[in-house]
Structures are given as C-alpha cells and as structure tokens.
Structure 1
Amino acid sequence: MAAAATKYLTGYMDASLVVCTQYLICLVTLLPWVSRTGLKGLATEFPKAHLIRGVAGWACFYTFYVAIGKIPLVDASLLRNTAPICVPFFTFFLFGNRIGLQGAIGILVGFAGVLFILKPEGQNISMWHGVGFLSGVTLAISMIYTRELAASEPSNRILFYYFLISLVLSTPLALANYTPIPIKAVPALLFVGVSIFITMKLYNHAYTHAPANAIAPLTYFGVVFAGLLGWIFWDHTPDSKSLMGMALVICGGIVAILAKQAEASQK
C-alpha cells in the first residue's frame, strides 16, 4: 500500500521529497523513546554496521521510489524483490554462510517468476528498470546488516540510527528538488511515513528471530499485491506471463521457507 501511495505522490513531487518526509515522520515517531532512554539508549559499539545499514536502507528506498515514478508499480516491486537472490551471495562473501540445495531451488524458482513478469527479451525495459534493480541490491545489504545488528542491539536503537542517517542523506536532495506540497497530498505522505515506520518495526522483529535467507523470500509476496494495485489504480493489466510469474514467485517463497525450517529442525 505504501508503494502505491508513493506512486501517487510522485505525480505531485520529486521522489527525494517523499523519501525525506518519510524518514522525518519515522524519526519524529521514535522521539518519545529517545526522550525516555536518553544518550545511554543511543550508545552503540557497532557504528560501522549502523552506517552501512543506514546508507543501504536509504539507497533502497530512494532508488525504489524513483523507479516507481517511472515504470509500472509491479515492475518496480519485482526489481526490488531481487534482494532474495542477492542475499545468499552477500552472506557467502561477507560471512561465509552457505545455503542448502532446497533453499537455492526455492530462490531460483522465485527469481524465474520475476523474469517471467519482467519479460527480459527486452520489450518495455528501460534504464529506470536498472534503477529499480539497484533497490534490490541495496535492500539485500540492508537485510543482512539489520540481521547482524539485531543479534546485539535493541530494535529502537537500530531504527533510530537508520532513520537519522537516512534523513541526513535525504535532506540535500529534497531541498534541491523542493516544490510546494499540495494539501491533497498530505494524507498520502503521512500514510507512507507511518506505514514505513510500522513496517520497519516488524522487519526488525523478524530479523531478531530468523536469518536473512529465510526472511528475504517472503518479500516476493508483495509483488502480487503490487500487481493487483497497479491493475486497479493504473490499469496495468497482468498478462499470462505476469500471472505465471506471480505463481512462481509464491511457490519459490514457500519452498525457500520450508527449506529453512527443515534445516533448523535437523540442528
């Protein structure tokens, strides 16, 4: 829903302004916690991890929102959801983690669904699809470092540094591209900010209890909803390839999750 609201907003303002407002709302929402805990609650031994997670998370949303304004909602969502394909590679090279055969099959099936929907033979593919793919790459990095931080840092501290870093990065672009915000766009802006705050809280909770390789395939399910919203509000009707791709996406996500559960039960 936040992605659909963002696509609506990019018709009235630059994506950078949406991103900046989003993080401002998120940071303000977290201020009561900051006032209760004070500087002690913000003390961290992992500044580098927070910085990487913050930059990657900001880059993910910025590139995703830019892509949303230029290409169909389902395409942008699909490209963002290439993150599950990137996560195993990053975790392997950064931490030496491995992924089982069944899990790999599930991820590949899901990515095959993404390819079906994107129709990679070249028709209707633009440079903005490349921007959308960058959102998937940076989302994967953000997922991994959120998981690492969640092992030793409280959820609100992770979110505070993420929102703060992202707001700092967003502000110059928002000022450079500023245009007056129409009154009718304010409810959508508030909705995006609040919904992203709730989403980040849920994500952090999930990463505390499950590895990135298990969580990442679940993000595929958002593609189906993006396709439905794009069809309802922007008349982007899914064709047979798109429907086949959505089916593969769901199957791939389920297989990957079942594989992770099987691995956990054997330990």
Structure 2
Amino acid sequence: MLDLDLAIIALASLFAGFVDAIVGGGGLILVPALFGVFPGAAPATLFGTNKGAAVWGTAWATLQYARRVTLPWHALLPAAAAALVGSFAGAWSVTAFSADSLRRALPLVLLVVLIYTLARKDLGRLHAPRHAGHIEAAWACGIGAVIGFYDGFFGPGTGSFFVFLFVRCLGYDFLHASASAKLLNTATNVAAIAAFAWKGHVWWHLATVMAVANVAGSLFGTRLALQHGAGFVRVIFMLVVAALIAKTGYDAFLR
C-alpha cells in the first residue's frame, strides 16, 4: 500500500469520526474514500474494514458523552441489545431479499425527515422526555430493533435515523439524542464486524490505522457537540441529512 493511499484513508477516517461523533453519517465520507482508493477490492471487504474502524470512534464518543450527559441507561442498554440483534437479523436478510426497493425509497424518506426538521424549528432544542421507566425502555428497544435491522440490511444514514427518532418519539434534544444514538450505533457496528470478520472481510492492518484516526476525529467532534449544545447538533444533523439525500438519490436514480 502506498503511503499516499494510507494518508488519504486516515484523513477520511479522521473526518468521518468527527462527523459521526456529532450526529452520525461518517460512512458517507469513509466508504466512498475506501472505494476510491481500492476500486478493485471486494465491496464486503471495504464495508467490513469501514466498520472495523468506525466502531472505535462511536464507542469512544459514547464514553465521552456518558461523562458529560445524563443518559437513561435503563432504556438504552436493552435498546442496544435490541439493536445488535436487529442488525444480525438485517445482515442475514440481505442474503434472502433484494435492497433495490429500499435504495430508491431512502432519499425520499430522508427528504421527509429533513423537511419535518426544518418545519419544526423547536424540534430537538429542549430536552423534555415524553416517557419514563418501562415505557421509555420499550420505545427505545423498538427504535433499536428497527433501525438496527435497517443497518444490517442496508445501512446509510443509520446514525441520523437513530437521532431523529430519539428526538421525535422520545422527546430528547439533539445533544441527548446524539449521545444515545452512539451507544446503539456501537452495538450495530459490533454486530456487523462479527458478521464481516466471520467471512474474512476485514483488513485489520488498515482498520487499525483508520481506528486511531477515527477516535481522534471522534474526540474533537464530541467536544464541539458538548461545548455548543443541541442547537449546533441540530444544524449538523440537517447538513448531514441533506448530504445523504444527495448521495443516496444519486446512487438510486442516476448511477
């Protein structure tokens, strides 16, 4: 591997960790970079290597948020377990069903999310949980299972969907929603890594370098989010969703 190739991938992983720590969507940066640098590699290997790096950034962001933000662990821990199981189920379903219909529907779903967020200017600015106790845990588990399945089956925008649903369904502000999403996204990444590694689709030598860069970016992104609060995370969320709409729309209809 050329030093230049490694530098490009490390830089992409750094930026992906930064974005992922704030609101999710790091795969939008890192996956295209991997495909650009290694055009002849098997897609499964590049996806597996991406997950092998990204899981460390999301795990680090989870720890950083947990130190500064009060999280409802009674709801999030079972939700993380549900997300892990859902991701396994989604990965298995890929072998039996085509994702073509979902690929075409995704940019439209993301567009609805963006329009709704723009229209509701107060959405996610205040932290006012709608539920508590077992009800909150049940909602969180439902979100974890559904989006976890989606992540295993298809994947783009998983972190952003977690954030949006925590804001919309549970009444979290964007900062608490992003912090909660990191734990669940870590669980889905672990499930994906297990599946890819079992099939030998992870370049561990590359993933190790990418992981270091990803954690560094995650550290910077987490600090910015904690420093500037829910309003800042909301803005980054809308920018990432807009970028996802452009990328997934191009892949679905123009490629």
Fold agreement, TM-score > 0.5:
no
Q: Which has the larger radius of gyration?
A: 1
TM tier, shorter chain? 0.3 to 0.5
Q: TM-score, normalised by structure 2?
A: 0.40
